[in-house]
Amino acid sequence: MKAVRIHRYGGPEVLQLEEVPTPRCGPREVRVQVHASSVNPVDYKIRDGVQRAVVWIRRPFTPGMDLSGVVLEVGAKVKGFSVGDEVISTPSHLRQGTFAEEVVVRADELARKPANLTHEEAASLPLVSMTAWYCLQKSARLQPGQSVLIQAGSGGVGTAAIQLARALGAATVWATCSTRNLELVRALGATPIDYTREDFRQVAKGCDVVLDSLGGAALWQAVETVRPGGHVSCITPSFPQLVERFGPYLALPAFGAWAGWAMAKPLVTRRVTVRFVTRFAYGQTLQSLVPLMESGQLRPVIDRVFPLEAAADAYRYLETGRARGKVVLKVR
Ligand SMILES: NC(=O)c1ccc[n+]([C@@H]2O[C@H](COP(=O)([O-])OP(=O)(O)OC[C@H]3O[C@@H](n4cnc5c(N)ncnc54)[C@H](OP(=O)(O)O)[C@@H]3O)[C@@H](O)[C@H]2O)c1
């Protein structure tokens, strides 16, 4: 079977489509025929080697952390899934490998594919909707009637987060974007803030929750924006910069020291809770989002679809930082 392989860290040119052996399925695992996957910024960070502070993977490896496909084989101890089932998943960073014709996934990282979506549509949702859920529901405990600011509302996470915030009952959802994306963001249910013309700190002043996907200075601006007692979920903890500055071994302790301060200061000075959020791979949580996908409350927003053979082009496009929603890989 064919898979994208990475033998050494580097730019898009290190991605190679190769013939590899069929992966073996363990007792608690499921082998899935991948129909579609999608590319996320973490994929190019891992490819570059700048995510090594937290993600150590032996090379060569197959990247990819989203899938929609069909079950081909079920491990002896797996319950609840059968050969032929249509499934979705966002496997853990450490068990990635969905940019391939087949992949083995832990059964507890699977959910049933939304019946109303194509594989390409379904593959665009797992990682970003799980990230949005961890930020808004698990970390911020967003309540009906509250107000939220979503940074980069036109991106992969942003398009999912706007819709999830609405589905969770947020009364006001602001989302930052550039002028060309105002209509997209509005159509998803947010009040757009054009970051090229407006200052989000003024517009969304006093909101209950901020989802910060930009990091750096934007994190401190989020702390300024949110009301006293409010919550900031940050998903961009600047590992690439930390790896560059301290190297892969010291980047994590350096982050720990910095993050302790970054969480303590807003709490002491403004009673603002800052949390660095990461997406986990739990299939049950993903399954809980499937009804929202099937009811149309969490819709796929797809910018471009590339064939698996053009994975390097898909990475190049996402790396422009200008994608509107998701970049999908069609595998079959
Ligand atoms: N911690 C986690 O578990 C986790 C999970 C998922 C993602 N992330 C991280 O979150 C970040 C965002 O991910 P993503 O998938 O949403 O990325 P993405 O899809 O590549 O984001 C692209 C979007 O960002 C917008 N954008 C760029 N600069 C902006 C700015 N200054 N203000 C507002 N919008 C801006 C662009 O809109 P315009 O063209 O209109 O500027 C574009 O639509 C990445 O760093 C990623 O690694 C972390």
Q: Would you place residue 55 in the very low, low, confident or very high pLDDT band (cuts 50, 70, 90)?
A: confident
Q: Distance between CA atoms of 184 and 222, rounded to whole angstroms?
A: 23
Phi first, then psi: what are they for 14, rounded to 5°?
-80, -10
pLDDT at 215: 93
Q: Whose CA is nearest to atom 4 of ligand 1?
A: 235
Q: Whose CA is nearest to atom 48 of ligand 1?
A: 235
Q: Is the CB of 318 under 6 A from ligand 1?
A: yes
Q: Would you place residue 51 in the very low, low, confident or very high pLDDT band (cuts 50, 70, 90)?
A: confident
pLDDT at 85: 98
Q: Provide mean pLDDT across the span 280-284.
A: 96
Q: Highest-confidence range of 47-56, 156-165, 234-243, by mean pLDDT?
A: 156-165
Q: Whose CA is nearest to atom 5 of ligand 1?
A: 131
Index of the ligand 1 atom closest to the CA of residue 180: 40
CA angle 81, 156, 185 (to 5 degrees): 125
Number of Cβ atoms within 10 Å of the Cβ of 225:
24
Q: Provide mean pLDDT across the span 98-123.
A: 98
Q: Which CATH class is domain 128-276?
A: alpha beta
Index of the ligand 1 atom closest to the CA of residue 218: 31
pLDDT at 237: 86
Q: Whose CA is nearest to atom 13 of ligand 1?
A: 157
* 2-125+300-330 and 128-276 have identical folds: no
E-assigned strand segments in the chain = 2-6, 15-19, 29-39, 67-74, 86-89, 102-106, 110-112, 147-150, 172-177, 191-194, 207-212, 226-234, 273-276, 302-307, 326-330
Q: Is the CB of 221 under 6 A from ligand 1?
A: no
Q: Provide mean pLDDT across the span 28-53.
A: 95
- Indicate if the alpha-carbon torsion angle 74, 78, 82, 86 is positive or negative: negative
* Residue of 42, 127, 255, 320 with the most ligand 1 atoms within 8 Å of its CB, for mutation: 42
| 101 touches 34 (CB < 8 A) | yes
Question: Which has the closest alpha carbon to 179: 194, 199, 164?
Answer: 194
Q: Is the CB of 152 under 6 A from ligand 1?
A: yes
Q: Is the CB of 50 under 6 A from ligand 1?
A: no
CATH 1.10.150.20 for the 2-125+300-330 domain, yes or no:
no
| 326 pLDDT more than 90 | yes
Q: Provide mean pLDDT across the span 8-33.
A: 97
Q: Whose CA is nearest to atom 2 of ligand 1?
A: 278
Q: Provide mean pLDDT across the span 82-94.
A: 97
Q: Whose CA is nearest to atom 32 of ligand 1?
A: 152
Index of the ligand 1 atom closest to the CA of residue 278: 3
Question: What pTM was estimated for this model as a whole?
Answer: 0.97
| 302 pLDDT more than 90 | yes
**Model pLDDT for residues 246-276, shown as the tens digit of each residue:** 988 898 999 999 999 999 999 999 999 999 9
Q: Provide mean pLDDT across the span 222-235.
A: 98
**Model pLDDT for residues 128-186, shown as the tens digit of each residue:** 999 999 999 999 999 999 999 999 999 999 999 999 999 999 999 999 999 999 999 99
- For the chain, which residues make up each domain, given as ranges? 2-125+300-330, 128-276
| 32 pLDDT more than 90 | yes
